[in-house]
């Protein structure tokens, strides 16, 4: 089995790969997921959750799975080796053994970083407990496709009370040639533990990356998650972040997209324990005909939880950006405090943004607000800067940079800020002449 | 330094300046007074090159060069500074970083070496003392969350750093308490010299107690209808503008 759809758009049956090393339980899950995808196929524009993004172009391509024989890869400057506590590099969904480096974690008892293929065949209890339990393959066809076909990914388990210094970096590279990959990651932060995880997605040529990352923040755990996306202009990226938060846990997730032909960032957060708090922030910087769809669902299922969501978009040329965010406050989730904001900056008359912040509140004692803005650069501010001697192009770049910096500056590690800032400049060379130096 | 001849200008097709003449020599302080709508702010904005304002006829020479042909940033680099009536807040743009870029673009224009961060900070600290701005201003965004008085002092601080040849203060005194007014005036007085000129646009005579003008002009319906020395400001404070309007009417 190689293709999802044939060229006429008709569905082909998905069959999971045969892997005798995997336990029967996993094989069963894969089989169920494959059957589910085979029954539903790709979402269509009739599906409310996919109304802004058509997968028809994706369905027309004859995708194939990589056999996994790659040994080197062009990391395009995205490797953070030496700066990350550990780094795993995947090419077309398969772990690249040699440049991957987990030496920074070795010696830390209670912290385990494995590849998914290792983890699934090990007796790691956290895998047994959590794998495919959070991201719902019955409801989400692409999660089903990922669950059926995932070859590899990362599993990070941090035991109760452990603190991981620095961040663990997962780098996923698409190498083109109509290859599809389904990276699957599982991050489990035990009670009172702390960790930072960064996923980066890059590549060249035409490829399809369909990733799923499941994150568990146990009671009182502190988790920082960053997803950096800079896919090629011909790439398709559908990436799901599935976060499960228990009592008093604190999660920050940053979804940064600085390029990609068609990108969907899907974030689903379930606040399942009292006093959990979430910060979900995103930045999308688009040019050309790029398309980024940010689709988020924050589910307040328990009382006294806090969620702060802010997504900002900068759109140039004929790009299209989407923010479609839903916050659900369940009947029992009293004293919820929630804020959802989307702000967009249009630099071109031909760029399009769709903004749909949505609250669905079933409780009666909550504090929730949401808002959305779409605007251009402030001409008064441009004149102010020019009146001090700064030329117009630089004045505009100051303002674009300022708009983006609100999100970039809050990334938890300097190498991440640097990487996003470089992507920002590369996305808009005409508008953002490279700074002579860093800010003071 | 500045020679304005028969200037006609306006905004959105509406003529506001109707044949304005003004000559400012190096080292002079000129006050321009007048009622609301007389064209004071239009004059300031036209000189600074604000978009939307259009000049229909007349000439403005700055050190012999045609100012009206220059873009706003070119005017700034040549040495024209407008302290704005309503300084705009620019969230996310660092006060000091922006000012350093501004100063260096001006220095570059004059063939001077750009200042590095250390030298710039030293200069900035010195000038901040002048306008009694706290050092925490360095880390804040341009005018964001500043009080009215802080915004005006920030304008004067920028002026002190950029060291323009001609400073135009557009109602910088409006809304200031007496302490802030004194600080602003001190800042301008420190800058003012035989090479620097100042145009003070104001409603009130109050600022002129601290910032003594060589000339006072009354702007009425887009033209300067009366000029005099500093005592004219006093007279305006006592008698208002009615008598000038009468004089103008009588002359017509």
pLDDT at A9 over 60: no
Which residue is closest to A393 within chain B, CA to CA? B73
Q: Which of A226, A255, A273 is the last residue of a domain?
A: A273
The alpha carbons of chain B give a radius of gyration, in whole angstroms, of 18
Say how far apart CA A350 and CA A319 lie, in whole Å: 8
A66 within domain boundaries: yes
pLDDT confidence of residue A6: 46
ipTM (interface predicted TM) = 0.95
Contact B88 A405 (CB under 8 A): no
A367 within domain boundaries: no
- Say yes or no: A408 and A261 in one domain: no
Contact A136, A143 (CB under 8 A): yes
Number of H helices, E strands in chain A: 8, 21
A227 within domain boundaries: yes
Which residues in chain B are contacts of A402 at CB distance < 8 A?
A: 90-93, 141
Which residues in chain A are contacts of B88 at CB distance < 8 A?
A: 378, 380-381, 384
Which residues in chain A are contacts of B85 at CB distance < 8 A?
A: none
Residues of the domain holding A218? 24-273
Contact A440 B158 (CB under 8 A): no
Minimal Cβ distance to A388: which of B76, B96, B117: B76
Which residues in chain B are contacts of A394 at CB distance < 8 A?
A: 101, 105
In this prediction, residue A104 has a pLDDT band, given cuts at 50, 70 and 90, of confident
Question: Furthest-apart CA pair in chain B: how many Å?
Answer: 61
Residues 347-406 of A with CB under 8 A from B: 378-381, 383-392, 394-395, 398-399, 401-403, 405-406
Contact B151, B175 (CB under 8 A): no
Mutate one of A312, A387, A392 to test the B interface: name it (highest B CB count within 10 A). A387
pLDDT at A340 over 60: yes
A174 in helix, strand or coil? strand
Which residue is closest to B79 within chain A, CA to CA? A389
Mutate one of A384, A389, A400, A401 to test the B interface: name it (highest B CB count within 10 A). A389
Contact B58, B4 (CB under 8 A): yes
Mutate one of B41, B73, B135, B154 to test the A interface: name it (highest A CB count within 10 A). B73
pLDDT at A8 over 50: no
Contact A388 B71 (CB under 8 A): no
- Say yes or no: A74 and A205 in one domain: yes
Contact A384 B101 (CB under 8 A): no
Contact B76 A379 (CB under 8 A): no
Length of chain A: 440
Helix, strand, coil distribution of chain A in percent, nearest 5: 20, 40, 40
Mutate one of B11, B51, B67, B72 to test the A interface: name it (highest A CB count within 10 A). B72
A419 within domain boundaries: yes
Average pLDDT over residues A97-104: 74
Which residues in chain A are contacts of B96 at CB distance < 8 A?
A: 440
φ, ψ for residue A223, nearest 5 deg:
-125, 130
Q: Which of A227, A255, A273 is the last residue of a domain?
A: A273
pLDDT confidence of residue A107: 64
Contact A387 B93 (CB under 8 A): no
Query: Interface of chain B against chain A, CB under 8 Å?
Result: 48-51, 71-73, 75-77, 81-82, 84, 87-88, 90-94, 96-103, 105-106, 109, 117, 121, 141-142, 158, 162
Share of chain A above pLDDT 90, in %: 75
A284 in helix, strand or coil? strand
In this prediction, residue A439 has a pLDDT band, given cuts at 50, 70 and 90, of very low
Pairing of strands B14-24, B2-11: antiparallel
* Residue position matching structure tokens 């509406």: B14
pLDDT at A29 over 50: yes
Q: Pick from A432, A435, A401, A428: which is nearest to A315 by CA?
A: A428
Which residue is closest to B50 within chain A, CA to CA? A383
pLDDT confidence of residue A2: 44
pLDDT confidence of residue A385: 97
pLDDT confidence of residue A7: 41
Phi-psi bin for A379: left (phi > 0), alpha (psi -120 to 50), beta? alpha
Dihedral sign, Cα of residue B245, residue B247, residue B250, residue B252: negative
Say how far apart CA A50 and CA A200 lie, in whole Å: 24
φ, ψ for residue B148, nearest 5 deg:
-55, -45
- Say yes or no: A269 and A393 in one domain: no
pLDDT confidence of residue A436: 40
- Say yes or no: A124 and A266 in one domain: yes
pLDDT confidence of residue A336: 97
- Say yes or no: A43 and A158 in one domain: yes
Q: Closest approach of chain B CAs to the CA of A303, in angstroms?
A: 34
pLDDT at A170 over 50: yes
pLDDT confidence of residue A106: 66
**pLDDT tens-digit map of A366-413:** 999 999 999 999 999 999 999 999 999 899 989 999 999 999 999 999
Minimal Cβ distance to A391: which of B96, B105, B141: B105
Six-digit token pair at A356? 């749909």
A8 within domain boundaries: no
Contact B82 A439 (CB under 8 A): no
Let me know if B12 is exposed, middle or buried by CB neighbors in 10 A (0-12, 13-18, 19+): exposed
**pLDDT tens-digit map of A202-211:** 999 999 999 9
Contact B98 A388 (CB under 8 A): yes
In this prediction, residue A438 has a pLDDT band, given cuts at 50, 70 and 90, of very low
Say how far apart CA A134 and CA A216 lie, in whole Å: 9
Say how far apart CA B168 and CA B81 lie, in whole Å: 6
Neighbours of B246 (CB within 10 A): 10
Say how far apart CA A87 and CA A104 lie, in whole Å: 9
Taking one residue from A and the other from B, the number of pairs with CB-CB distance under 8 angstroms is 90
Q: Which residues are within 8 A (CB) of A191 and not within 5 positions of it... i.e. 6 or more apart?
A: A160, A161, A218, A219, A220, A221
pLDDT confidence of residue B149: 87
- Say yes or no: A398 and A265 in one domain: no
Contact B73 A389 (CB under 8 A): yes
| Terminal C-alpha separation, chain B | 32
Average pLDDT over residues A124-148: 92
Neighbours of A374 (CB within 10 A): 16
Say how far apart CA B38 and CA B32 lie, in whole Å: 10
When divided into structural domains, chain A yields a total of 2
Contact A244, A217 (CB under 8 A): yes
Share of chain A above pLDDT 70, in %: 93
Contact B93 A391 (CB under 8 A): no
Say how far apart CA A99 and CA A87 lie, in whole Å: 8
pLDDT confidence of residue A383: 96
- Say yes or no: A260 and A396 in one domain: no
A38 within domain boundaries: yes
pLDDT confidence of residue A4: 56
pLDDT confidence of residue A13: 65
A297 within domain boundaries: no
Contact A156, A128 (CB under 8 A): no
The alpha carbons of chain A give a radius of gyration, in whole angstroms, of 21
Least confident of A122-131, A230-239, B1-10: A122-131
In this prediction, residue A122 has a pLDDT band, given cuts at 50, 70 and 90, of confident
A369 within domain boundaries: no
pLDDT at A326 over 90: yes
A404 in helix, strand or coil? helix
Residues 403-432 of A with CB under 8 A from B: 403, 405-406
**pLDDT tens-digit map of A81-100:** 989 999 999 999 999 877 67
The 8-class DSSP code of residue A142 comes to: H
Let me know if B99 is exposed, middle or buried by CB neighbors in 10 A (0-12, 13-18, 19+): buried
Minimal Cβ distance to B73: which of A379, A392, A399: A392
Which residues in chain B are contacts of A391 at CB distance < 8 A?
A: 71, 73, 105
From first to last of its 252 residues, chain B has per-residue pLDDT tens of 999 999 999 999 899 999 999 999 999 999 999 888 899 999 999 999 999 999 999 999 999 999 999 999 999 999 999 999 999 999 989 999 999 999 999 999 999 999 999 999 999 999 998 888 888 888 899 999 998 888 999 999 999 999 999 999 999 888 888 888 888 888 888 887 778 999 999 988 888 888 899 999 999 999 999 999 999 988 888 888 888 888 888 887
Which residues in chain A are contacts of B87 at CB distance < 8 A?
A: 384
**pLDDT tens-digit map of A246-281:** 999 999 999 999 999 999 999 999 999 999 999 999
Contact A384 B162 (CB under 8 A): no
Six-digit token pair at A439? 């800010």
Q: Which of A273, A296, A325 is the last residue of a domain?
A: A273
Neighbours of A137 (CB within 10 A): 23
Neighbours of A224 (CB within 10 A): 20
Q: Pick from B61, B246, B72: which is nearest to A394 by CA?
A: B72
Neighbours of A369 (CB within 10 A): 11
Which residues in chain B are contacts of A380 at CB distance < 8 A?
A: 88
- Say yes or no: A85 and A199 in one domain: yes
Minimal Cβ distance to B105: which of A383, A389, A405: A389
Say how far apart CA B196 and CA B164 lie, in whole Å: 7
Average pLDDT over residues A327-343: 97
**pLDDT tens-digit map of B122-166:** 999 999 988 888 888 888 999 999 988 889 999 999 999 999 999
Contact A219, A231 (CB under 8 A): no
Length of chain B: 252
Contact B103 A384 (CB under 8 A): no
pTM of the model: 0.86
- Say yes or no: A44 and A190 in one domain: yes
Contact A168, A137 (CB under 8 A): no
DSSP assignment of chain B: -EEEEEEEEEETTEEEEEEEEEEE-TT-EEEEE--TTSSHHHHHHHHHT-TTEEEEEEEEEETTEEGGGS-HHHHHHHTEEEE-SSPPPEEEEEHHHHHHHHHHHHHHHTTPPPPPHHHHHHHHHHHHHHTT--GGGGGSEETTT--HHHHHHHHHHHHHHH--SEEEEESTTTT--HHHHHHHHHHHHHH-BTTBEEEEEES-STHHHHS--SEEEEEETTEEEEEE-THHHHHHHHH-SHHHHHHHHHH-
pLDDT at A440 over 50: no
Order of all β-strands in the sheet with B53-62: B14-24, B2-11, B53-62, B65-66
pLDDT confidence of residue A227: 98
Q: What is the mean pLDDT of chain A?
A: 90
């Amino acid at each position: 089995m190689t293709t999802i759809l044939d060229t006429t758009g008709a569905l082909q049956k998905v069959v999971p790969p045969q892997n005798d090393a995997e336990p029967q339980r996993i094989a069963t899950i894969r089989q169920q997921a494959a059957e589910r995808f085979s029954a539903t196929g790709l979402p269509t524009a009739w599906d409310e959750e996919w109304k802004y993004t058509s997968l028809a172009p994706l369905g027309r391509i004859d995708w194939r799975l990589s056999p996994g024989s790659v040994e080197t890869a062009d990391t395009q400057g995205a490797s953070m080796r030496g700066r990350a506590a550990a780094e795993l590099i995947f090419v077309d969904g398969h772990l690249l053994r040699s440049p991957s480096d987990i030496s920074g974690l070795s010696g830390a008892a209670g912290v385990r970083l494995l590849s998914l293929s290792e983890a699934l065949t090990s007796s790691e209890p956290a895998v047994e407990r959590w794998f495919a339990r959070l991201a719902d393959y019955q409801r989400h066809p692409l999660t089903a496709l990922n669950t059926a076909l995932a070859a590899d990914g990362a599993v990070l388990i941090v035991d109760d009370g452990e603190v991981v210094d620095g961040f663990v970096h997962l780098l996923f590279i698409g190498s083109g040639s109509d290859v599809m990959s389904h990276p699957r990651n599982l991050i489990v932060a035990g009670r009172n533990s702390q960790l930072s995880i960064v996923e980066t997605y890059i590549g060249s040529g035409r490829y399809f990356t369909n990733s799923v990352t499941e994150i568990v923040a146990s009671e009182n755990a502190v988790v920082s998650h960053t997803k950096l996306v800079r896919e090629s202009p011909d790439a398709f990226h559908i990436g799901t972040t599935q976060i499960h938060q228990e009592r008093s846990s604190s999660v920050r997730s940053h979804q940064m997209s600085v390029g990609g032909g068609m990108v969907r960032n899907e974030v689903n957060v379930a606040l399942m324990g009292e006093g959990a708090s979430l910060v979900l922030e995103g930045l999308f910087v688009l040019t050309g005909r790029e398309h980024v769809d940010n689709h988020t669902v924050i589910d307040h299922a328990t009382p006294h939880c806090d969620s702060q969501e802010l997504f900002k978009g900068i759109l140039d040329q004929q790009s299209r950006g989407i923010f479609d965010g839903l916050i659900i406050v369940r009947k029992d989730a009293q004293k919820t405090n929630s804020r959802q904001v989307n702000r967009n900056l249009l630099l071109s008359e031909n760029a399009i943004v769709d903004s749909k912040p949505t609250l669905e509140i079933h409780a009666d004692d909550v504090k929730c607000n949401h808002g959305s803005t779409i605007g251009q650069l402030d001409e008064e501010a441009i004149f102010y800067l020019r009146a001090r001697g700064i030329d117009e192009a630089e004045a505009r770049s100051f303002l674009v940079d300022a708009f983006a910096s609100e999100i970039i500056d809050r990334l938890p590690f300097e190498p991440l800020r640097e990487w996003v800032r470089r992507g920002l400049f590369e996305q808009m060379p005409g508008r953002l002449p490279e700074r002579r130096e860093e800010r003071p | 330094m500045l020679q304005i001849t028969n200037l006609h200008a306006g905004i959105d097709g509406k003529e506001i300046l109707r044949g304005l003449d003004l000559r400012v020599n190096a080292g002079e302080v000129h006050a321009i007074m007048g009622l609301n709508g007389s064209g004071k702010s239009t004059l300031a904005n036209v000189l600074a090159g604000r978009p939307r304002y259009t000049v229909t006829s007349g000439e403005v020479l700055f050190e012999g060069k045609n100012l009206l042909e220059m873009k706003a940033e070119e005017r700034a680099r040549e040495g024209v500074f407008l302290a704005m009536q309503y300084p705009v807040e620019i969230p996310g743009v660092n006060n000091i970083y922006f000012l350093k870029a501004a100063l260096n673009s001006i220095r570059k224009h004059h063939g001077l070496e750009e200042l590095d961060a250390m030298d710039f900070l030293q200069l900035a600290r010195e000038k901040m003392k002048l306008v009694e701005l706290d050092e925490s201003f360095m880390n804040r965004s341009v005018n964001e969350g500043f009080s009215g008085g802080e915004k005006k002092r920030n304008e004067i601080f920028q002026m002190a750093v950029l060291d323009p040849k001609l400073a135009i203060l557009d109602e910088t005194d409006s809304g200031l308490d007496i302490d802030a007014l004194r600080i602003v005036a001190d800042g301008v007085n420190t800058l003012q010299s035989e090479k620097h000129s100042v145009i003070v646009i104001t409603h009130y005579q109050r600022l002129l107690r601290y910032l003594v003008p060589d000339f006072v002009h009354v702007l009425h319906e887009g033209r300067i209808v009366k000029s005099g020395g500093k005592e004219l400001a006093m007279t305006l404070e006592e008698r208002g503008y009615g008598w000038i309007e009468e004089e103008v009417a009588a002359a017509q």
